[in-house]
Every structure is written in C-alpha cells, then in structure tokens.
Amino acid sequence: MSDRPEMFEGTERIWMDGEFVDFEDAQTHVLTHALHYGTGVFEGVRCYDTEQGPAIFRWEEHLDRLYKSAKPYDLDIEFTKDELTEATTELIASEGFESCYIRPIVYYGFDSLGVSPKDCPTKTTIAAWPWGAYLGEEALEEGVDVMVSSWRKHASSQIPTNIKTTGLYVNSMLAGEEARRNGYTEAIVLNKEGNVAEGPGENIFMVRDGEIYTPGLAESILEGITRNTAITLAEEMGYTVHEEATISRGELYTADELFFTGTAAEVTPIRSVDDNEIGEGTKGPVTDELQSAFFDVIESGDREEWFHYV
C-alpha cells in the first residue's frame, strides 16, 4: 500500500465487471480502446455521512446519466442499474466508508486498435475512496479566484457536451492547468460563441439584482446534477432562476455574485474573475443562503428522494 497515492490509501478493493478485486489487481490492458481514443463514460458521485447514516446523494440521477452517456457511443452496459447499485453499496459497506467519492466508469476495452470499437468489450468498473472538499475547505467559505481560460469548450455540435465522456476532460485539464499555472484556483471556460459555459468540472451560476442565472444546456455544458439540486433549492427558497441563460463574459465581471456547483466542488463561491472582485470579494448572501440549504440537506439526509442509503 505504501507506494500508492495518498488519496487511495484507504481503498482495499475495486469492483470490476462483476467481481470485487484487490486494488493492486484492478488493471486494464495498455491497448484499451478508451485509453487511445477517450471512449469511456463515467460518473462522480458522493456518499455523505448523514444523520441517518451513509447515503449516496442523488444516486438514481447519476446512474441515469451514466446510461444516457453510454448511449451515443453504443456502449452497452452489461449490468442493470440494480446490479450497479448493489455493487456500489456493497463496496462502500465493505470498505467501511461513512462518506466517500464514488467513480463508476464504463469504457471500451481491447480488441483491435481501429477507431471503430465494434468488437471491443465493454468494461465496467466502480471505485470509491474518501475525498474532502475538491477546491479546499477554505474555498467553500472564502470563495475562489478564477480566470477565464483561453481554451474554449467543445461545441455541442462537435461532441455531446451534456453527458460525461472521458475524452472531454482533456479540455477540462488544459483549462484548469492553465488557471493554476497562472496562480488561480480554477478556470471558467467559454463556449465556441464566446459565452460563458462552465468550469472544467463545475457548472456556474450568477446572481444579479436578486435573481439567479445559469447557462442552458445549449451553451455546451454538462447537465450537472448539483446544478439541478441548486435550481430546485433556490426555487423553493423563492428565487427566480433563469436556467437557460446566455451569459456574456462581461456579465461575469459585473455580477453581484458568482458560484460553482458540482459533485466535487459542491457549492463554491467565486470571489474574483481575472482579478476583478465579484461583489464584496467574498461569499455573497444568496450564495451563502443556497450553500447552507445545500449542506442542511446533505447533513440531515432527510430528503428521501435524493438519498440512497447504504
């Protein structure tokens, strides 16, 4: 175990194609189609230690998105949703995790290395490991400094951007690393038209004059599940949410508040964009209210339709 990266120290087994295998044995062939061509689809899910015990947040929605992601690539998942659910809950329980991050991935394995995956097997794997705040604990309180990336998002006419394909994350990596190289915590990526799309691993929201705006699906964004959670909570709190907004780059700089949402990033305030302070340069009041509502749901676990108890 000692030569493993720190975040995987606590993981004993990984579920692969119907079996639990030891961490060290969870291997795939170097000629795997997905390694060469990015032909995998995946999910990032969190299991929270709620007052009612460990529970997977919005599991059904994540599973639905995994199957939807597989569809355009003709990836035929050989397991039913119930089988993947059982494998996941058994994995979490056997590892003894109270909270963790869950990573299901489905991809084309090895057959021939033609671009056509026609005879490649479909491989399905689920791993889980403990993972804290993605952009840091401080980020949730103080907000993050971000830059608008020089990289544009793929257009949704070039590759489906609403679903979660491994190959898409080359763009996310370029944008995120560009930001970090320049001293920022994260990037904002514009779409081909030059309007705001999202973060490399987050959706984005803007608050202006007490109303909430977030780019629509046609703006080349992932159909984020935390985005949906934030919209639902904000509407319940009485806010008007414009969920099909087109947001120009300039509007970012003059926004009253901005925040990211995502399974990993949860609800993270943005305190500056390209060194321009947003609002008071700290977590804004609407972001604060929404973030509190989000963590109240997570901690209590009492919104049953959103939790799958382990």
DSSP string, 78-147: -S-HHHHHHHHHHHHHHHT-SSEEEEEEEEE--S--SS--TTPPEEEEEEEE----TT-HHHHHH-EEEE
CB of 34 to ligand PLP, least distance (A): 17
CB of 173 to ligand PLP, least distance (A): 11
Which is closer to ligand PLP, CB of 31 or CB of 170?
Answer: 170
In sequence order, the β-bridge partners of residue 258 are 206, 270
Considering only residues 153-172, where is the footprint of ligand PLP by CB under 6 A?
A: 172
Any contact of residue 176 with ligand PLP (CB under 6 A)? no
Select the residue interacting with ligand PLP from 109, 117, 176, 201 (CB under 6 A). Answer: 201
Which is closer to ligand PLP, CB of 21 or CB of 174?
Answer: 174
Any contact of residue 215 with ligand PLP (CB under 6 A)? no
CB of 263 to ligand PLP, least distance (A): 3
Count of residues in contact with ligand PLP, rule CB under 6 A: 14
Which is closer to ligand PLP, CB of 21 or CB of 264?
Answer: 264
**Residues 51, 299 contacting (CB under 8 angstroms):** yes
| Structure tokens belonging to residue 158 | 């070039």
Considering only residues 32-71, where is the footprint of ligand PLP by CB under 6 A?
A: 44
Active site residues: 164
Which is closer to ligand PLP, CB of 39 or CB of 261?
Answer: 261
Select the residue interacting with ligand PLP from 109, 143, 224, 301 (CB under 6 A). Answer: 224
Return d(Cα 211, Cα 206) in angstroms, integer: 8
Stretch near ligand PLP under the rule CB under 6 A, chosen from 106-114, 174-182, 217-225, 234-242 = 217-225
CB of 224 to ligand PLP, least distance (A): 3
CB-CB neighbours of 19 under 10 Å: 10
Closest CA to 212 of 293, 144, 154: 293
Q: Residues 76-114, buried b or exposed e (16+ Cβ, 10 A)?
A: ebebeeeebbebbbebbeebebebbbbbbbbbbbbeeee
Task: Decide the pairing of beta strands 211-215 and 241-245.
Answer: parallel
Considering only residues 233-272, where is the footprint of ligand PLP by CB under 6 A?
A: 261-263
- For residue 241, which phi and psi values (nearest 5 degrees)? -115, 125
Select the residue interacting with ligand PLP from 145, 186, 202, 219 (CB under 6 A). Answer: 202
**Residues 270, 187 contacting (CB under 8 angstroms):** no
CB of 151 to ligand PLP, least distance (A): 13
Any contact of residue 284 with ligand PLP (CB under 6 A)? no
Which is closer to ligand PLP, CB of 124 or CB of 261?
Answer: 261
Which is closer to ligand PLP, CB of 90 or CB of 303?
Answer: 303
Return d(Cα 26, Cα 13) in angstroms, integer: 8
Give the residues lining the site for ligand PLP (CB under 6 A): 44, 172, 198, 201-203, 222, 224-227, 261-263
